[in-house]
Amino acid sequence: MSETQDAPPDPEASGEEAFVKSQGNRNLDVILRIPVVVQVVLGSATMPVSNLLKLGRGAVIPLDHRVGEPVDVVVNGRVIARGEIVVVEDDNSRFGVSLTEIVGPTGSVE
């Protein structure tokens, strides 16, 4: 691919600099297409295996989160945000999450 197809040339960049920018844009495009697993964690529970074996249809497992508490948004195993559960406007049979906090790389809220 030529650099004109990937990105417009920078008039102030030399030929080599323009090529490097073009390669960088192409690499960024590749990275941006990588799929990640996004999970919304409503809560969790701990129980002995004996109780797990007793579960059947209609059983209720109480979770550690209460109604109204924020849920965790997890990407590839790392909490990246928190939010509240909402009903998707376009399709009332689906849930979504409205983000209320973004968690920084060290776990701090931004």
Measure the CA–CA gap between 15 and 39, rounded to whole angstroms.
44
Tell me which of 2.60.40.3950, 3.30.70.330, 2.30.330.10, 1.20.120.80 is the CATH number of domain 38-102. 2.30.330.10
Residue spans of the domains in the chain: they are: 3-32, 38-102
For 75-108, the pLDDT digits (tens) are 988 999 999 999 988 888 899 999 999 998 765 6
Residue 79 near residue 73 (C-beta atoms within 8 A)? yes
97-to-41, 64, 87, 94, 101 alpha-carbon distances in Å: 10, 18, 8, 10, 11
For 11-57, the pLDDT digits (tens) are 555 666 666 666 667 788 888 999 999 999 999 999 999 999 999 99
pTM: 0.62
Q: Give the end-to-end CA distance of the chain in Å, rounded to a whole number.
A: 40
